[in-house]
Structure 1
């Protein structure tokens, strides 16, 4: 998929993403954790989290909602950007820090992160294709290897607010 195609998808879902983030934050996580993404090839009951990080250029705190999976005690997120030819901004931002925060439903955590490699990466990629089947197509659309990010909770934090 070209960056132009990715931009078309992003524009079409911009209001949805904004509304989803607002609902998640406004409810303290009571709403927004489970979403229906069957309209874009996903499942009716898909889990999402909120990822909080600091912008590498702006220094501002940002929150991004992302689909996630849970495997072997770690939370997995995918830096797919719909199969665009470049990485999403959130991924570029977290590469600049060792710790970040995430919220699943009403529970928020401080976390470390890592990227799996080789055999482990393939196992986790296969799992995440089951969580959100469009990932398979996204990888086929781009020459870059779409990063997987494994989050490990190291403590609790306050729920994110709007």
Structure 2
């Protein structure tokens, strides 16, 4: 392994990451959903979806923009919280109430979320690694394992 591949990945400051999330969501909202979502072009790219969960404490709809890959009829994302520690709120919400909706490139669908386990998790993690070669290095920035989240049609 070369020194280049051993280097710790550099992330922008947390405030920049959060600003990007807010801007992406605002752009989607301002354009009425015409801008902000995209389907994966091929196996070498991920798409962007809007996931709407039910707040575990508020009971209100909560939307977030996430990257995803397709696995047959399922959509697969990572509960990475911008590679920071702690679970993202959307994943905590989904664990409390697995029923959610996703918007992908002009289509809305009902889904049920769950964490991939064992061999399925390893297979889907490898799928994400095909797209992001530094995936393991980014995941190592977190103190806990990053959940691979499967969104199944319901």
Could you tell me the TM-score, scaled by structure 2's length?
A: 0.79
Question: For 1:60 and 1:132, how far apart are their aligned partners in 2?
Answer: 33
Please provide the CA RMSD for this pair: 2.4
- The number of aligned residues is 141
1:11-62 C-alpha deviation (Å, 9 max, x unpaired):
1133322221122233343311249xxxxxxx9x642100101111122211
Q: Which residue of 2 aligns with 1:30?
A: 34
- Which is bigger in relative contact order (C-alpha 8 A, separation at least 6)? 1
| Counterparts of 2:142 and 2:19, CA distance in 1 | 25
Which residue number in structure 1 is paired with residue 74 of structure 2? Answer: 74
Q: 2:22 aligned with 1:18, yes or no?
A: yes
- Residues 80 and 135 of structure 1 are in contact (CA less than 8 Å); yes or no, is this contact kept in structure 2? no
User: What is residue 107 of structure 1 aligned with on the other side?
Assistant: 107
Q: CA deviation at 1:109?
A: 0.8
Contact preservation (8 Å) 1:69, 1:131: no
| Contact 2:17-2:82 within 8 A present in 1 as well | no
Give the TM-score of the pair, scaled to structure 1: 0.75
Runs of 4+ in 1 over 6 A off after TM superposition: none
Matched, 1:51 2:55: no
Q: Which position in structure 2 is the counterpart of 1:158?
A: none
